[in-house]
Structure 1
């Protein structure tokens, strides 16, 4: 049995597949840097630092899933997407993953591209797609924002877990005790439970920020409602 790590440990996926996903992750993060620079301003830059620090803290909550170096934990992609947007949000999660791998040994360094792809890219992208949809159809009220945060966080965690299943199918080297269907079911089921916890944390955090400073919630600024005339400010005051 290998030592349990917070993310995918070295040796779970073969080298060629890990290299392909490392190149993919690097290309996407480069795009995130280029696009994220357009969004950075006096509000977003400090918020990005706070988001990265918060994600680092919540990712320390770790839940063993399988016996060969795979575990589940809170991701933070939906929280990052809501507060600082998809481009900067993906970078925040990626920075956390890099620090954890290089400094704390959480996740194999050789597997870093896989972990970044799953948690920083797939998780954040899935979350923001749902956020963009839900904020256009739900009322701009605390309840609507809470539902958006909860659902996007839950779904993003499950999507990220299935990224690992794809990677294992392409180049898994360790016997995880399941066939591919069983592995997918195990990962989805456990991460569904983790996603409920993440959804509650994300909804609570975003609502707290929105009630005090709604202008600091990127999604509320960037995503326009379908009917602006009927918008109700999240902060609860008429404008």
Structure 2
């Protein structure tokens, strides 16, 4: 759902940019509370993983594909504030390096794909885990539902922005119906990916999943014929659970394989927004806008002057994962250090 230049007029794009900048600024402050010794190393990996999986377009209908937005996944794994920052890093890298998503529309994309998805998904996720049994299965179910709803919510948010600042005269009702309709289907894929990823991490290191902390039901012991809660274990994580470094390594390797190899087999059909834009005429004026980084050596997810399509796309994917991991990890490390330095002052 990367909005290109030319879909939304300059004034509304500027307002969206201010909203996105404000959301990032607030998220930076909130992330200081979320980024501890467990989530800080994971946050950069989450950004790189979202970048990789977004390269894997999957078919959802005749001539239409979809891809992960990632807001729900990031929010559940590392927290909502950090989740917004993860998606912002991904969108920035995609726009600057790969000419994917307009630079003038960067604020629109962060608002729609970052803020709306994270807020919608995490609010629903937290609501569900409060009413469902305190089990790992409940985390998986809540993840699925949260991710499913977040995608059409983002589609509706784009439609609202288009209604205010669209550059073409297309009835908003038609846009809303088409956008929400196709993105409900895309949401099913998003939900499956989110549930499987969250479930995989919860299975080996539940303590590293921000949204799963404190959700495990306490152990029950029978004392004098009555069930009572056992005392919590003093060690937060069993030794057999594995180290965060091992999980980080597996995650990086997985992201590299997905972006460098599996992405070659992704669907070539236009994604939901591209399909709706072409069918409804939203993109009528987009051709007049050339992307500011259209001449980038990595534009359109290929390496310039590498003629073999498989090699070119694979190299671009690997470079993208590496760049996103480096930028994300560096940014979150700085935020984490600021929290560490601020703690003694607050004391």
TM-score (structure 2 length as normaliser): 0.59
Query: For structure 1, which segment, 26-35 or 41-50, has the greater mean C-alpha deviation from structure 2 after superposition?
Result: 41-50
Task: State the match for 1:37 in structure 2.
Answer: 32
Matching residue within 176, 201, 212 for 1:220 = 212
Going from structure 1 to structure 2, the CA distance change for 1:185 and 1:9 (only over 3 Å counts) comes to same
CA distance in structure 1 between the partners assigned to 2:123 and 2:194 by the alignment: 16
Bigger radius of gyration: 2
Shift of 1:73: 2.7
Shift of 1:72: 4.8
Matching residue within 156, 161, 166 for 1:162 = 156
Task: State the match for 2:21 in structure 1.
Answer: 26
TM-score (structure 1 length as normaliser): 0.85
CA distance in structure 1 between the partners assigned to 2:85 and 2:161 by the alignment: 21
Shift of 1:142: 3.2
CA distance in structure 1 between the partners assigned to 2:164 and 2:16 by the alignment: 11
CA distance in structure 2 between the partners assigned to 1:119 and 1:51 by the alignment: 15
8 Å CA contact 1:11–1:174 kept in 2: the answer is: no
8 Å CA contact 2:16–2:111 kept in 1: the answer is: yes
Higher relative contact order (CA 8 A, sep 6+): 2
8 Å CA contact 2:134–2:215 kept in 1: the answer is: no
Does 1:90 pair with 2:78? no
CA distance in structure 1 between the partners assigned to 2:108 and 2:210 by the alignment: 27
Matching residue within 122, 126, 135 for 2:120 = 126
RMSD of aligned alpha carbons: 2.4
Shift of 1:185: 1.1
8 Å CA contact 1:7–1:72 kept in 2: the answer is: no
Does 1:55 pair with 2:47? no
CA distance in structure 1 between the partners assigned to 2:110 and 2:59 by the alignment: 19
Structure 1 SS opposite 2:105: helix
CA distance in structure 2 between the partners assigned to 1:224 and 1:203 by the alignment: 16
Task: State the match for 2:99 in structure 1.
Answer: 105
The answer for unaligned runs of 5 or more in structure 1 is 1-5, 66-70
8 Å CA contact 2:72–2:194 kept in 1: the answer is: yes
CA distance in structure 2 between the partners assigned to 1:128 and 1:161 by the alignment: 17
Task: State the match for 2:191 in structure 1.
Answer: 199
Task: State the match for 2:278 in structure 1.
Answer: none
CA distance in structure 1 between the partners assigned to 2:97 and 2:28 by the alignment: 23
Shift of 1:62: 3.9
8 Å CA contact 1:61–1:73 kept in 2: the answer is: yes
CA distance in structure 2 between the partners assigned to 1:63 and 1:21 by the alignment: 29
The answer for unaligned runs of 5 or more in structure 2 is 221-228, 230-236, 238-347
8 Å CA contact 2:129–2:142 kept in 1: the answer is: yes
